Amino acid sequence: MTDLKTLQRDDAAHFIHPFTDSKTLAEKGTRVIERADGIYLWDIQGNKLLDGMAGLWCVNVGYGRQSIVDAVSKQMQQLPYYNSFFQCTHPPAITLAKTIADLAPAHMNTVFFTGSGSESNDTNLRMVRRYWDLKGQPNKKTIISRENAYHGSTVAGASLGGMSGMHEQGDLPIPKIVHIAQPYWYQEGADLSPEEFGLKAARSLEEKILELGEDNVAAFIAEPFQGAGGVIIPPSTYWPEIKRILAKYDVLLILDEVISGFGRTGCWFAAEYFDLQPDLISIAKGMTSGYIPMGGVIIADRVADVIKQQCGEFTHGYTYSGHPAAAAAALENINILKQEKIVEQVANEIAPYFQQRLRTLAEHPLVGEVRGIGLVAAIELVQDKATRARYNSDLGVGTWCRDFCIQHGLVMRSVGDTMIISPPLVITKTQVDELIDKALLALNDTYQQCL
Ligand code: PLP
């Protein structure tokens, strides 16, 4: 076994990591994760960590699922690869498309496969523009997104996203993608009630459509709740008003369910949770629980019928669209979710308990707000609970808290001073208690350091 120091040296020398400062990595070294089981990870030094982030929001059924390994292994022996271009296909991709269509909202019966969430959003961009061309409205090209949204890291994905740091590094966004305000009441709501602020944020969509002209707007893209932006749950007034506006101006809805899909909210898709009828849904992550990379777009009949019947060749696709081994992983992952009734369990048992236990942390002097739905949540760290004032960002209070979490055996991520949590859906009540206990220890340590 290669020792930790050698691994860290080779890592720093040869591996540029995603979303990582390579200089800091070289100075401090990385945490090397070696194995995992259920909701726990072990690093190479044998430290056990409760994975409060399900990897990167993806390991919905937990680690160590032998039946997924077996399904992938069997598929690899039979047909490790074939493509789905040029009138070819294979049984796992067909079965998966039908399985997902059956789980999706009733008006969505078609799937396009990709290799990741970013590729799914690239696909959305191509598909909505093609759709409006075919509908005889070629000027309907612009896509409206939101500040602080995350839609991936390819050129189109990062452009659709609203992360200013990503835009700065890539000369982004590309043309015909614009951003409106996000529905982040805790940070930006000031004196408005959440309901008033939700309406205000939604109406910025209407203002933008009117500014651009409805004949120029193809689609609005949004996460049902923002994940990477800090688990931002829109106020209750937001989505109903967005729905009204989209219908009024005939603008398509692309719902990015890369995080929320496959059970995170206690529904198979958050479209159901928020009562939305999207035209396109981006999926990835929980689709295979991360065992093998895979993504896709679920397409409403309204769009799919036009693409299928009028497009001719849709000149878009990826070598690994519908990859048979990935499809086998997805099918077994979905089978586990169904057989073990995990989504129902989240809705009826675990999410209510998780949310209730988590709310107890709101009493902590460092905590300004705890919010969440299903098995996803955020904890806002603030200097002043009454005014919602944050600590000076140079301090990196969120990073302190994240590091204290690790010391106490918990993986929790920080977005600025917002702590975010998204554990595997198979977490038990006892494990929720363990997560809360560890989070409290980390909050106490962080608070001491703030004094
Ligand atoms: N969309 C959302 C909402 C995401 O959270 C992510 C990744 O975190 C993506 C898209 C991009 O997915 P991927 O990293 O698989 O390209």
The pLDDT of residue 19 is above 80: yes
Instruction: Give the H or E element holding residue 69.
Output: helix 66-78
Q: How many whole angstroms separate alpha carbon 227 and alpha carbon 359?
A: 19
Confidence band, pLDDT 50/70/90 cuts, at residue 29? confident
Distance 58 CA to ligand 1 centre (A): 10
ipTM over 0.95: yes
Q: Strand pairing partners for 415?
A: 418
Percent of the chain with pLDDT over 70: 100
Mind listing the pLDDT tens digit for each residue in 209-250?
Answer: 999 999 999 999 999 999 999 999 999 999 999 999 999 999
Q: How many whole angstroms separate alpha carbon 113 and alpha carbon 282?
A: 10
Sorted by sequence, the CB contacts under 8 Å of residue 179 that are 6+ apart come out as 144, 145, 146, 147, 149, 162, 173
Average pLDDT, stretch 380-385? Answer: 97
Average pLDDT, stretch 256-268? Answer: 98
Average pLDDT, stretch 4-25? Answer: 95
The structure tokens listed for 76 are: 């690899």
Mind listing the pLDDT tens digit for each residue in 43-60?
Answer: 999 999 999 999 999 999
Look at residue 1 in the predicted model and tell me its pLDDT.
61
The pLDDT of residue 15 is above 70: yes
Atom of ligand 1 nearest to the CA of 56: 8
Length of the chain: 451
The pLDDT of residue 372 is above 90: yes
Ligand 1 pocket check: which of 124, 148, 150 to mutate, most ligand atoms within 8 Å of Cβ? 150
Q: How many whole angstroms separate alpha carbon 428 and alpha carbon 276?
A: 30
Mind listing the pLDDT tens digit for each residue in 154-193?
Answer: 999 999 999 999 999 989 999 999 999 999 999 999 999 9
Look at residue 245 in the predicted model and tell me its pLDDT.
98
Mind listing the pLDDT tens digit for each residue in 86-125?
Answer: 999 999 999 999 999 999 999 999 999 999 999 999 999 9
The structure tokens listed for 295 are: 């993504």
Exposure of 19 by Cβ count < 10 A (0-12 exposed, 13-18 middle, 19+ buried)? exposed
3-class DSSP state of 218? strand
Distance 118 CA to ligand 1 centre (A): 6
| pLDDT averaged over every residue in the chain | 97
- Alpha-carbon distances, residue 24 vs 10, 17, 19, 188 (angstroms): 15, 11, 12, 32
**Which residue's alpha carbon is nearest to atom 7 within ligand 1?**
152
**Which residue's alpha carbon is nearest to atom 13 within ligand 1?**
117
The structure tokens listed for 182 are: 């996000």
- The 3-class SS string of 123-145 reads HHHHHHHHHHHHCCCCCCCEEEE
Q: Kindly give the pairing relationship between strand 177-180 and strand 217-222.
A: unpaired
The pLDDT of residue 293 is above 80: yes
Which candidate, 208, 202, 153, 207, places its Cα nearest to that of 177?
208
Average pLDDT, stretch 398-411? Answer: 98
Ligand 1 pocket, residues with Cβ under 6 angstroms: 116-118, 121, 150-152, 223, 227-228, 256, 258-259, 284, 295
Atom of ligand 1 nearest to the CA of 154: 16
3-class DSSP state of 63? strand
The structure tokens listed for 385 are: 């609970």
Maximum C-alpha span of the chain: 65
Mind listing the pLDDT tens digit for each residue in 304-360?
Answer: 999 999 999 999 999 999 999 999 999 999 999 999 999 999 999 999 999 999 999
Q: Which amino acid is at 108?
A: M
Ligand 1 pocket check: which of 259, 264, 269, 376 to mutate, most ligand atoms within 8 Å of Cβ? 259
Distance 441 CA to ligand 1 centre (A): 30
- The 3-class SS string of 142-180 reads EEEEECCCCCCCCHHHHHHCCCHHHHHHHCCCCCCEEEE
The pLDDT of residue 2 is above 90: no
Please name the residue ranges forming H helices in 192-285: 194-212, 238-249, 270-273
